[in-house]
Amino acid sequence: MNLRRTTILAAAVALLTTPVVATSAAPAQVFRGDLVDLSAATPDPFGDATAHLVMTPNGRGTTFHLRIQGIDPAVVGESYGAHLHVGPCVEGNGAAAGPHYNASTTSPPVVSDQTEVWLDFTVVGDGTGAGDATVPFVPAPGDRAVVVHAEETAPNGTAGPRLVCLPVSW
């Protein structure tokens, strides 16, 4: 075997034995806190609720895991829409969160669970709910909000009134 072939073989072996996870992906980030009330006029079951969001870039996009606990057990079985919004989470000001974060590059933008971060959840018996999403993009840094809505997310992205939010900044 000549030197050139040996070098190529060594490079191939190095490639094959390099772990796939060894990309430039950033580490997971975790955000946690009390849910912030967006409308005092609209009663909601999240008054005592806390939440955490885990955001994990994976080299091809991002996975998200939202978990909420302390939800009023009276709404067990109900489902709620939840999304990453571009703007901040401001008490009493649902509009401050702005529109959904949308990574579409077309005009008009494509609205889907692959261009936006949809984290709908169903409340289970212990007053918790969890929503997961995997998207093919990494959201740009900013002061943003995960907004929980009164209804499940429809195919066009709407989910009814904004109830509470979790601040997420990175």
Q: Which residues contribute to the site for Cu ion (CB under 5 A)?
A: 83, 147
Q: What SS3 state is found at 133?
A: strand
106 alpha carbon, distance to own chain's centre:
22
Q: Least CB distance from residue 163 to Cu ion, whole Å?
A: 10
Q: Which is nearer to Cu ion, 26 or 152 (CB)?
A: 152
Angle at CA 116, nearest 5°, toward 168 and 169? 10
Nearer to Cu ion, 71 or 147 (CB): 147
Nearer to Cu ion, 127 or 162 (CB): 162
167 backbone dihedrals φ, ψ, rounded to 5°: -70, 135
Cβ of residue 85: shortest distance to Cu ion, in angstroms? 6
Name the residue whose CB lies closest to Cu ion: 83
Nearest distance from C-beta of residue 77 to Cu ion, angstroms: 21
What beta strand segments (E) does the chain contain? 29-34, 36-37, 50-57, 62-69, 79-80, 82-85, 121-122, 129-135, 143-149, 162-169
Closest distance between Cu ion and the C-beta of residue 149, in Å? 5
Nearer to Cu ion, 71 or 159 (CB): 159
